[in-house]
Chain A
Amino acid sequence: MREFTYSRAASLDQALGTHARPIAGATNLVDLMKLEVETPDALIDITRLDLSRIERAGDGVRIGALVPNADCAADPLIRRHWPVLSSAILAGASPQLRNKATTGGNLCQRTRCGYFTDLSTCCNKRTPGSGCDALKGVNHNHAILGTSDACIATYPGDMAVALAALDACVQIQGPDGMRQVPLREFHRLPGTAEAPDNVLQPGEIITAVTLPAPPPGRQIYRKVRERSSYAFALVSIAAVIKVESGLISHARLAFGGLAHKPWHDPAVEAALIGQPPGQAVFQRAADILLKDARGFGGNNFKIPLTRRTLAAVLIEATRD
């Protein structure tokens, strides 16, 4: 680990506009610092800021950036109205990690690509311009959607996948004021080598995530993984589906484990809405979702796996 300075922010203003990296649960950043994948020279601890509340905001809810994942998952309001979020959080990490990890930090967690965390390999994300060893290497759990020749890493989280389905917004405070970014636009696709993970600028801090009014219908989070806990998703799906009079009237779907961001494709939802639930409709939705999917050898299986998982989720979501 490189030497760094540590300070603790007593107020939000103190934490803004500094080049110091904000740190809360420290479950990901410090791991990466130990490996020297991340080498910030200054950390600012924001855990004492008043950002730990879950409160109603109109018909929706505002989840403070410092709300621990465990608390968010257990919150009665969340469980009652946005159960897919609770399920998604509980599908990730371990109880110990969920106790420490925060809502804002979770959004900023970095990929678990094995080449990203190994300094002896080439990784554009870690060292822009160095190349991507995953392209032709061990890419069993890499992305099939939205990839580029620069990077095929996935965004590893579960919580954000549910947030994408719920059409959440990220509240970001900067030295010049507050801005809101739809969760679906918060994370970025890799594009060129230098692309950062998300739209957060240096000196900015996530203060909250807001959810609009609870959506109608059944909420499901489904995570396919190789061991039944403490493993990243091969594919995960957050689904909010309502069936009325035999037709799908509302559909929100987001996918994890497939791309460098929680994947959301409005065309997939459009293919479902107004249709009667059934195999053909589900297959068509999968066709749309996967029309540009590309495997890199080790992860080719994700294409049929996603197709089948989507069918399973939609069957469950539309069952009487």
Chain B
Amino acid sequence: MSATYDAPDRRNLLDHMRQGVIGKPLDRPEGPLKVTGRAPYAAEYDLPRCAEGVLVGARVSNGRVTAIHRDEVSAMPGVLGVFADPAMLRRPAQGGAGKAPAQDVTQVDYKGQPVALVVAETFEQATAAAKALRIDYEDSSDSAHFDPDAAGVEPPKKPTDLGDLEAAMRDAPHHVDLIFRTEGHASAAMEPHAAIAAWDGGELTLHGSFQMVAYNVPELAASLGVDPARVRIVSPYVGGGFGSKLGISHDAVAAAVAARELGRPVRVVLTRQQVFESVIRRSETRQRLRLACDETGRLVGLGHEARVSNLPDEKFAEPVTQATKFLYAGDNRRLAVQVTRVARLTAGSVRAPGEAVGMQALEAAMDELAETAGIDPIALRKRNLPDKAPGEGIPFSSRTLVEALDRGAAAFGWDRRHARPCQTREGEWWIGMGVASAARVNMLAPAEARVRLHPDGRVEVESDQTDIGTGSYAILGQIAAEMLGSPIDRVTVALGDSRLPPGAGSGGSFGAASTGSAVLRACEAIRAELSSRLGVAAEELTLQDGLARGGNRSDTLVGLLGGDMLEETGRIEPGRTGKDYSQATYGAFFCEVAVNAFTAETRIRRMTGAFGFGRVLNAKTARSQCLGGMVWGIGSALTEALQFDLRDGHLVNHDLAGYHVPVHRDVPALDVILLEERDAVASPLQAKGVGELGICGAAGAVANAIYNACGVRPYRFPMTPDTLLDQMPDPF
């Protein structure tokens, strides 16, 4: 069977299996290890003679290092060396780069950029020396820009221009023309970026915290100038990534350089502040939304133009309009993303790049259009679902948006919403409800996985696929167990080691469906061998609880194996299914908020999300992904904002005290509805990605609920009290 996924696999194989574990809300097999502290994270390996490295951040915002006064710290207790090797990273690698990112730390691109590594016997010694290390700079901050509003923009890449949007806006009976702003976000993963490097001859083993090992190996190898075959990355447990660990970061190369020089292992753990200041940010955005509709609510014009920022020479531009492209109809369209260059840390993928911030603005604009046109917001959305992807003319693979809106509305009690704002007041609080669509592009990524069926019936699954807390161990095991008729406790899954076959990695929500498809393919090959041994056609073979049946034959699995171990490697590559169809996941958010009439504080009271993402592989881990996404949505709506000093681009709120991720009290009980769906176009599993969907539009539902509560249209995210206060109605 070709690895390239050119034609939809409509056999829906997993639905014909008998083991009954696929989709079940099984616990993570590694859960007990994690909650008892026995799952080692990157920095937690105890290597003999391991030295400790601490990175030093640049004190200027732009310029060049002219001198590092090593001699002043070399005699400090325990200090082993000060490194500023040309191989060390100025910026982290972008997701999927697979090559070395910007190196040479004598150049300073942004304040806080690592410029040196101090290594000592202990962490405290290294920290003390790093703080004491004096560095001279040639400061060229005067020629850099720090304020995205003040710097020029580059022409958009591949804008969409269809029809005449200006004319549509002018002629349509109803239109809105709005400017939204969103602030920058940090991934804020719980586990900081960390690496332990150990060389054995010319072989490097690096314990790190990564999302995409198969890409991180060549990134690391190229940075160090060594053969990728001589680099091993070990990353079995990852304490969250959210995009920030897609590519290698400063810690990995610095640790490897120092370890090579010192001839002993070196550990480098970024401080929380260094993670915030030097890894990856989501760009702030300025978005102009133009929507025009006829009397029936049919969109005739749709404009979504965004300005984002990044460092000079970075290709990544927050793809703000990614879902706008296919979500709603409208013949006259203009979509564009423009980049401005500022000396702030690298902008890159942070959870659901594009839709996370683009959808909230689009959905807030849709709500305003619905009001302007006097149409129910749900009806407006349903009225504008295109038959084919606008501009491309290709069909949708599957789309559960209508079902999500209907199911969500019923579960939430949407019919109790007042169409007009300021209708419900409870003491100091205005109460309101809002709705938003969810949408996120779906991708399949190249992946391999190996499956072994041992003579005693045990199953092993192996891939360098990572588990960043999402449930990869659980779902890959479930796929193998289902396909091979094995009780789940007879399946073991090994992940996150570059010696294993290259999985898709964890990014873009594609890990489960892609690497899972590779597991499925490997299992199919094993099933083919088993069916031949049983003497039945492959489609006749039933495997359940270690028994094989087919036609009128049956045997035990162990008997069929007859002492042999069967081993197969499955592969999947994206193919024509990715081009011939518009693939996305869909859903809907419903939210009830309370807005304090005096202080403009917003509290979420209830939130319901209904999501369709193809086959549910594990109802528990999938639900958790949706919950996590909605919590991100709440953060994006109400609290999360990177605060940069516009004079020098430095990040002022560079820790979890200053950067407000939602706390428990900000998050009420969330209701998640998983919609039943099979999308054979998306993958042989009929599954799509779920990781990011829960955030994509969530903040829009909050914004719309705020308007419904207190009559203030928010145009700035996060919607902190200061953004609403001056428009709040008289509280008395």
Contact = CB atoms under 8 A, between A and B. Distances in A.
A308 to B, nearest CB: 4
A133 B643 CA distance: 14
Interface stretch (A5-13, A54-62, A112-120, A267-275): A112-120
Given A133-B645, A227-B639, A311 B598 contact: yes
A312 B599 contact: yes
Contacts of B652: 114-115, 118, 137-138
A312 B721 contact: no
A68 to B, nearest CB: 21
B364 interface: no
Interface in B656-671: 657-658, 660, 662-666
Contact of B725 (A2, A225, A229, A304): A304
A120 B111 contact: yes
B663 A230 contact: yes
Contacts of A199: none
Interface string A165-188: 000000000000000000000000
Contacts of A1: 124, 127-128
B653 interface: yes
A226 B720 contact: yes
Contacts of B644: 138
Given A3-B128, A36-B131, A227-B638, A301 B664 contact: no
Nearest to A134: B652
Given A137-B645, A138-B643, A226-B639, A120 B57 contact: yes
Q: Is the interface of A mostly helix, strand, loop or mixed?
A: loop
Nearest to B719: A226
Nearest to B599: A224
Contacts of B600: 305
Contacts of A305: 599-600, 721-722, 725
B147 interface: no
B731 A308 contact: yes
A136 B146 CA distance: 14
B136 interface: no
Nearest to A224: B599
B639 A308 contact: no
A63 B599 CA distance: 33
Nearest to B663: A229
Interface in B125-168: 127-128, 131
B428 interface: yes
Contacts of B725: 301, 304-305, 308
A112 B656 CA distance: 12
A249 interface: no
Contacts of B596: 312
A198 interface: no
A311 B639 CA distance: 25
A230 B664 CA distance: 10
A312 B124 contact: no
Nearest to B59: A120
B38 interface: no
B726 interface: yes
B658 A114 contact: yes
A162 B597 CA distance: 24
Nearest to A136: B647
A231 B726 contact: no
Interface in A225-248: 225-231, 234
Given A226-B720, A229-B663, A301-B725, A140 B124 contact: no
A200 to B, nearest CB: 24
Contacts of A120: 57, 59, 111-112, 650
A47 interface: no
Contact of A301 (B57, B59, B127, B722): B722
24 contacts: A1-B124, A1-B128, A34-B127, A115-B652, A121-B650, A137-B645, A138-B645, A225-B601, A226-B601, A227-B662, A228-B603, A228-B663, A229-B664, A229-B666, A231-B660, A234-B722, A301-B722, A301-B726, A305-B599, A305-B600, A305-B722, A308-B599, A308-B725, A312-B599
Given A118-B652, A118-B654, A228-B665, 18 more contacts: A1-B124, A1-B128, A36-B131, A114-B643, A114-B652, A119-B131, A120-B59, A120-B111, A120-B112, A226-B601, A227-B639, A228-B666, A229-B663, A229-B666, A231-B660, A308-B599, A309-B599, A312-B731
Interface of A: 1-3, 34, 36, 112, 114-115, 118-121, 133, 136-138, 140, 224-231, 234, 279, 301, 304-305, 308-309, 311-312
